[in-house]
Structure 1
Amino acid sequence: MARHVLPTVDSTNSHAMRLAPSLTGPAWFLGLQQTAGRGRRARAWVSPLGNFYATLLLHPVEPPEQVALRSFAAALALRDAFVALTGLPEVFKLKWPNDVLLNGGKVAGILLESTQAAQGMHLAVGIGVNLIAAPDASVVEAGAVAPVSLLGETGIRVTPEAFLDALAIAFARWEAIFVTEGFAPLRAEWLAHAARLGEVIRARTGDQTREGVFETVDSAGNLRLRMAQGTVAIPAAEVFF
């Protein structure tokens, strides 16, 4: 698989999408520094030198609703990479829909973006990891999970290049499982490492916030929240603990 390391870039997702029409196969883009990184809902993603900013550009053939399930492949690959590099499987959990937690704090996030072109779909799987530094807790929304760094929580220093080595191997494995066996094995493994499964959480969509027990993630990737009036399926939301 092609791999490109960029000393500086505006956003690895944006860069990958600009090159997508000229690429025939999958490719990783690693930016050592980003000048305009972004997270979900177009939030700015703080991008100091030494953290990890990368995008995997794919040309998927499945329907859009299936393509979106690759966020689970990315989350599982991230967790596998962390465990391979630290030997600490018990401290990493997965937070629906797109975060990885370390000791309960957010250490990594995932952003999927896609465009439809004449030759098919282009999918950018963007991944940001706080390897050596995390934003100050004061800059995150009240009630959100506090950001942490791998170095700060474990004392382990990993370079972006070394992290990509581990992540690329792990993602290739989960991508192969997804393509050949579907979402079911990814769902089962994700649930095995889910944060706050069976506990009361809050899910906010727009200006509506719902509170209930995090029951499961269903076969479509939706959060299933058990509330007093019954269980609801939530396809997208901000989750608060």
Structure 2
Amino acid sequence: MADWPHGYSRHVFDTLDSTLSEAARMAPTLTGPAWILAVEQTAARGRRGRAWSTPRGNFAGTLIMRRTGSPADAALRSFVASLALREAFVAVTGREDAFALKWPNDVLLNGGKVAGILLETVGEALVIGVGVNLAHAPTAAQVEQGALTPVSVLGETGARVAPEDFLDALAVAYARFEDQFTTYGFAPIRTAWLSHAARIGEVVTARTMRDETVGVFEDVDPSGNLILNTAKGRVAITAADVYF
């Protein structure tokens, strides 16, 4: 692993309840950023406590690092992680144009969901959970109604990628974008993310537990909010699930 990023530790487990849970257990003794990989998870979760299927062959990884800056800065790491994921996908498949980024924290492959990101804080640590359908994708019955169709890297590209190999590619890419973020701020990350954004210029629906906003996806602002041009004017969406 000559290319493994300096300063990041690497922890690979055959089976864990959840890499997010393992990160929480590691947090009190954390001395530097650490990647955690589980070949199999038995109690994985996604956003809002949703179940996330992680059979063997898929990627279940978590990065834990000391939280620096404001809570808003921590939330912007979802864009850093999204760009790193896309770069890792391109590295392992060679498919430059097949991957797109869906606000706020998903990666799409040929229009279907191939990866998701979950950010949490544990004490003074930031935890970034990453789930990738490398070899298997959930069935339509396993996802909520209206959600994008899940796809896998193997099914869409024919590339058979081992989770540990994907971790190596992701860790290298993440370290590069993290250095860019800490050195230059969010502006270059935002520009890069928008250049790969899915459905920009098209009508999308942003839903929360309480309401729904329909509008043209115009931008992501300097705070990471989704900007929709609606019948009532431009609206900034702080948090929501986006539907196409």
1:208 aligns with 2:211: yes
2:201–2:217 CA contact under 8 A, matched in 1: yes
Helix, strand or coil: the match of 2:97? helix
Please state how far the C-alpha of 1:60 moved relative to its aligned partner. 2.2
Runs (4+) of structure 1 moved beyond 2 Å? none
Helix, strand or coil: the match of 2:107? strand
TM-score normalized with structure 1 length? 0.97
Helix, strand or coil: the match of 2:151? coil
Structure 2 equivalent of residue 113 of structure 1: 120
**Which 5+ residue runs of structure 2 have no aligned equivalent?**
1-7
Which of 143, 147, 160 in structure 2 is aligned with 1:144?
147
Q: Distance in 2 between matches of 1:24 and 1:146?
A: 39
TM-score normalized with structure 2 length? 0.96
1:225 aligns with 2:228: yes
1:90 aligns with 2:90: no
Please state how far the C-alpha of 1:133 moved relative to its aligned partner. 0.1
Which of 227, 234, 237 in structure 2 is aligned with 1:234?
237
Which of 34, 39, 42 in structure 2 is aligned with 1:35?
42
Which of 43, 52, 57 in structure 1 is aligned with 2:64?
57
Which of 66, 78, 88 in structure 2 is aligned with 1:81?
88
1:161 aligns with 2:168: no
Helix, strand or coil: the match of 1:90? coil
**How do 1:1-12 residues align onto structure 2 when only pairs under 5 Å count?**
1-12=8-19
Structure 2 equivalent of residue 178 of structure 1: 181
**How do 1:194-205 residues align onto structure 2 when only pairs under 5 Å count?**
194-205=197-208
**Which 5+ residue runs of structure 1 have no aligned equivalent?**
none
Q: Distance in 2 between matches of 1:227 and 1:86?
A: 37
Q: Distance in 2 between matches of 1:108 and 1:61?
A: 26
Deviations 1:148-180 (CA, angstroms, capped at 9, x unpaired): 000000010000000001000000000000000
Please state how far the C-alpha of 1:140 moved relative to its aligned partner. 1.3
Q: Distance in 1 between matches of 2:125 and 2:101?
A: 26
Amino acid aligned to 1:59: R
Q: Distance in 2 between matches of 1:60 and 1:180?
A: 16
Q: Distance in 2 between matches of 1:163 and 1:42?
A: 25
Q: Distance in 1 between matches of 2:206 and 2:227?
A: 10
Deviations 1:4-30 (CA, angstroms, capped at 9, x unpaired): 001100110111111111111110000
Identity %: 62
Amino acid aligned to 1:215: E
Please state how far the C-alpha of 1:205 moved relative to its aligned partner. 1.1
